[in-house]
């Protein structure tokens, strides 16, 4: 075969490996959505903590769940989407709803008895927990880097919580709250793993989760806690909590579609900063050096894991395109 015969193939190859330039405007919008979601999330945590002085954490969960179910159903009606999802996936989203209920119960309790920033830092082990579960159930890679990051995250939790047998400083209620915060992160990762790779509309998932959570926590509230009738102002705060949960989840869902994964992982960690600022400014919480060090370790490790996953994904895409 002559050189002339091979020229067309050589000319076509660059076209096959061509990648469109990223839309900077959409990426910026995605990062801004995630930043606003972090602010909404930290604000929502602040309102939960403020409300816990008046209401049992279970009552706050009930109010939030009812708002979630209502907004999710409204969204399904506007989008003309089946609020109960497709028949083949209902068992999995039901199980996801049960896990999400436990996430809210444990998280809201932790917020009632722990400093705001410390709770937020602890629940940010959620991405690390997701990586561990994905390795166990989906055989995704889990090498030395993931192992080291996980161990350092555990060290960060130890520095934040200061176990009694090591430091002897914190109350039993605080340590139970820390346990609930860690359990919340594990349950949240489990809930996401449950519906991984299943196309589910956001509104359907919101409605279903809110419905199941309401059905479970409302009877539990009257059975195990004292129901407090909210006044007008408190009712608005409880409503606002549910609205902020919905807005935060929607902005994250939309932001992650637009923004590159690596920078998005870094932006998400602003949530920890916002929470420490709100805790200091409003609740007069003064984190010590160990708590700040522990939160910083978790933030750095989660950021590093997110950046590594993003770069691996980019290299994989480039490799496949070069083979085309």
The pLDDT tens digits of the residues spanning 206-225 come to 999 999 999 999 999 999 99
DSSP string, 42-103: HHHHHHHHHHTTTS-HHHHHHHHHHHHHHHHHHHHHHHT--TT--GGGHHHHHHHHHHHHHH
pLDDT of residue 14: 43
* Average per-residue pLDDT for the chain: 85
Q: What pTM did the predictor assign?
A: 0.86
Among the ranges given (178-182, 248-252, 320-324), the one the predictor scored with the smallest mean pLDDT: 320-324
**Distance of alpha carbon 49 from alpha carbon 22, whole angstroms:** 41
Mean pLDDT to the nearest integer, 42-71: 95
Q: Assign residue 231 a region (left: φ > 0; alpha: ψ between -120 and 50; beta: otherwise).
A: beta
- Which band of pLDDT confidence, cut at 50, 70 and 90, is reported for residue 246? very high
Among the ranges given (2-6, 140-144, 159-163, 236-240), the one the predictor scored with the smallest mean pLDDT: 2-6
Phi, psi (deg, nearest 5) at residue 37? -65, -40
Mean pLDDT to the nearest integer, 63-92: 90
In the chain, helix, strand, coil percent, each to 5? 80, 0, 20
Give the up-direction half-sphere exposure of residue 172: CA atoms within 13 A in the CB hemisphere. Answer: 0
Sign of CA dihedral 82, 84, 89, 93: positive
CA angle 69, 70, 74 (to 5 degrees): 115
**Distance of alpha carbon 24 from alpha carbon 80, whole angstroms:** 32
pLDDT of residue 12: 43
- Which band of pLDDT confidence, cut at 50, 70 and 90, is reported for residue 18? very low
């Amino acid at each position: 075969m002559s050189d002339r015969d091979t020229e067309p193939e050589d000319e076509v190859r660059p076209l096959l490996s061509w990648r469109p330039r990223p839309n900077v405007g959409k990426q910026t919008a995605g990062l801004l959505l995630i930043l606003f979601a972090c602010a909404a999330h930290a604000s929502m945590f602040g309102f939960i903590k403020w409300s816990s002085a008046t209401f049992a954490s279970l009552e706050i969960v009930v109010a939030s769940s009812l708002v979630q179910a209502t907004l999710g159903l409204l969204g399904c009606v506007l989008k003309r989407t089946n609020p109960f999802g497709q028949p083949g996936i209902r068992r999995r989203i039901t199980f996801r709803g049960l896990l999400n209920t436990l996430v809210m119960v444990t998280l809201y309790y932790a917020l009632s008895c722990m400093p705001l920033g410390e709770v937020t830092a602890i629940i940010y082990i959620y991405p690390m927990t997701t990586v561990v579960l994905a390795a166990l159930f989906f055989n995704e890679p889990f090498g030395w880097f993931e192992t080291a990051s996980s161990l350092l995250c555990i060290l960060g939790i130890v520095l934040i919580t200061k176990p009694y047998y090591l430091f002897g400083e914190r109350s039993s209620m605080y340590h139970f709250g820390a346990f609930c915060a860690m359990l919340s992160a594990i349950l949240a990762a489990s809930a996401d793993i449950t519906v991984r790779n299943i196309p589910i509309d956001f509104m359907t998932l919101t409605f279903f989760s809110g419905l199941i959570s309401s059905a479970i926590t409302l009877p539990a509230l009257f059975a195990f806690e004292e129901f407090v009738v909210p006044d007008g102002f408190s009712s608005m705060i409880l409503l606002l909590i549910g609205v902020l949960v919905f807005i935060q989840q929607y902005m994250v869902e939309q932001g992650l579609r637009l923004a590159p994964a690596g920078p998005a992982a870094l932006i998400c960690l602003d949530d920890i900063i916002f929470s420490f600022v709100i805790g200091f400014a409003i609740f007069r919480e003064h984190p010590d050096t160990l708590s700040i060090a522990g939160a910083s370790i978790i933030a750095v490790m989660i950021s590093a894991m997110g950046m590594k996953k993003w770069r691996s994904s980019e290299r994989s895409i480039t490799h496949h395109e070069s083979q085309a």
